[in-house]
Structure 1
């Protein structure tokens, strides 16, 4: 009987203990669930942050690629290098949110000049500033020739020479990113530079990649523009003498005629012909005849004192010179100087009665009128040249009736 009582008491105690422990277990379980949910929430928050950062990086990458594509398309569609470089520095400055982006072009001695820039309103302009700092050339040019990119987060903590630091301080630069602009044969043409002036800046891989890709595109644009300029120059240059050719003469005279017509100013031309040149060729041969033409061309170019005076090979052994803002008397003086320059060459010509190379010259000048064209000026000079030849050559005849 006593045993049964003891058994009953033990069972009651166990029931009571179980009744007490069950709420505690639930609390512990709830606390664990809260901990798990908190951890899961933190993971979700981190995942969301990572996703947002990835999304931002993707947007930045797409914006960068779109910018590069736009500039690449402009390069393909345009040969206007100035417009391309202006667009590049403007777009890059806005994209990177920096204070200054510039294009620096090297000179043959590795000094250089800032040719294009885009600046924030509060930044100091630097365009057309020249860099003559020796330490820059001696230490850094070689690195850029090798294609090295230089990123400086803070000029006051970076390992740079003091002279370079002072150079950057001059333009209020606190951080800068420099990328070389190389042409197709890896020739160092210049630098594409971003300046951050407000504070230090840690440049990331997207900043560097953007400038590198743009520098590559600009290198293509520069080379393309230079080739186009060469083709244009070849199209208006006489291959043998390197003077302007007939096409360039006609173009220059037509442009000058219109300008002088508006200003009602005198314009003149000279037509010059080497006397007895066929006999010279027959006597010495065509190679020597070509050399004679080259020497005469050089002498005429040197005798033309003003940069606005155009000396051209008109055809064969005939030359033409356009003289802006020159009346008939002034043109006659120039013709006299041209004859003297050729005489000074003392090129022997056994088949000429003068014993050396000489020139016959026709001169014409006028104030252009609306009813006339530049052809009438050429015609008058040509008739004057014909009269000079008919008068025994080695002389100057001016067209007074124009």
Structure 2
């Protein structure tokens, strides 16, 4: 069986097996000089033997493992003086250089792995960047109306009020509230209320946004904008045009005394950006809006 395996391995891979002994039964099993050295080391207790060596212009790796005398072996080897457990020979496995080490394939595979790794890292980096952008957008944009939210508005107003941002130029926050929106929701349902908010958000964003300005959802049915580079009179005129435009849309409101949707608007302003905090401006705009509500709604009030 060992000879058959040796023949098949030699034909297919170039790896050869050889059974040898210091006292061989067959001439073809006679040991070479290096095999004698290995066999003698087994008799002295070595468990295996291995060496690299050179044959001509090629390098080979030689390995031998001991074969011990077992009961079936005594049928042939008893007459040679072997006893049970004696080392009777060795199995040799020289691996010649004709079995090529796949350097090219390994280099190519490592290169592909490296390219794939770089590509994966790049792709992962892009996905992380997109995920961060998505998280940032979710944090500062209102999911229902798709415009900035209160947090974004406060951050923006705070930045606009920094001393190094166009000192002494006017700025006016404008706060808008849908009149009796609870009655609108109660009469027509939440789905109609959501549609109303999206419609108003689109109109307000178009009228109050642009040129460095933007509109945000302040909370519930309230919207806010920061009107930059605009005096108080200009902000009041713009707010009044916006109030009339919403009124003339004629959006049915069964709970409103006007029968249609209306807005109440409060405005605060500063002539320069070094004297007012964002908290003070917001409080002034909220106070102006409250006055518009108490004085009949569907009107514009300014904090003076």
Higher helix share: 1
CA distance in 2, matches of 1:298, 1:393: 22
CA distance in 2, matches of 1:347, 1:327: 31
Q: Does 1:334 align with 2:249?
A: no
Question: Quick check: 2:168–2:271 contact (8 Å CA) kept in 1?
Answer: yes
Quick one: structure 1 residues 205 and 336, their matched pair in 2 at CA, closer, same or farther if it must change by over 3 Å?
Answer: farther
Question: Quick check: 1:261–1:370 contact (8 Å CA) kept in 2?
Answer: no
Number of the residue aligned with 2:117: 213
CA distance in 1, matches of 2:193, 2:212: 29
Q: Does 1:249 align with 2:145?
A: no
Q: Given the alignment, which residue of 226, 236, 239 partners 2:143?
A: 239
Q: Does 1:289 align with 2:289?
A: no
Q: Does 1:349 align with 2:256?
A: no
Measured after TM superposition, the shift of residue 264 of structure 1 is 2.1
Q: Deviations over 1:46-75 (max 9, x none)?
A: xxxxxxxx9xx9xxx8xxxxxxxxxxxxxx
Q: Given the alignment, which residue of 129, 133, 139 partners 1:229?
A: 133
Number of the residue aligned with 2:269: 365
Summarize the alignment of residues 93-172 of structure 1 with structure 2, pairs less than 5 Å apart: none
Measured after TM superposition, the shift of residue 344 of structure 1 is 4.7
CA distance in 1, matches of 2:244, 2:113: 62
Q: Does 1:313 align with 2:220?
A: no
Summarize the alignment of residues 45-124 of structure 1 with structure 2, pairs less than 5 Å apart: none
Higher Rg of the two aligned structures: 2
Question: Quick check: 2:142–2:149 contact (8 Å CA) kept in 1?
Answer: yes
Measured after TM superposition, the shift of residue 373 of structure 1 is 0.8
Q: TM-score, normalised by structure 1?
A: 0.46
Number of the residue aligned with 2:169: 265
Quick one: structure 1 residues 259 and 323, their matched pair in 2 at CA, closer, same or farther if it must change by over 3 Å?
Answer: farther
Number of the residue aligned with 1:274: 178
CA distance in 1, matches of 2:167, 2:145: 33
Q: Deviations over 1:97-121 (max 9, x none)?
A: xxxxxxxxxxxxxxxxxxxxxxxxx
Q: Deviations over 1:324-362 (max 9, x none)?
A: 222212222331343244235321012211111110111
CA distance in 2, matches of 1:239, 1:305: 18
Point out where structure 2 has 5 or more consecutive residues left out of the alignment.
1-53, 59-100
Quick one: structure 1 residues 260 and 384, their matched pair in 2 at CA, closer, same or farther if it must change by over 3 Å?
Answer: farther
Question: Quick check: 1:300–1:341 contact (8 Å CA) kept in 2?
Answer: no
Number of the residue aligned with 1:181: none
- Root-mean-square deviation (CA), in Å? 3.1
CA distance in 2, matches of 1:341, 1:229: 35
Question: Quick check: 2:160–2:273 contact (8 Å CA) kept in 1?
Answer: no
Number of the residue aligned with 1:389: 293
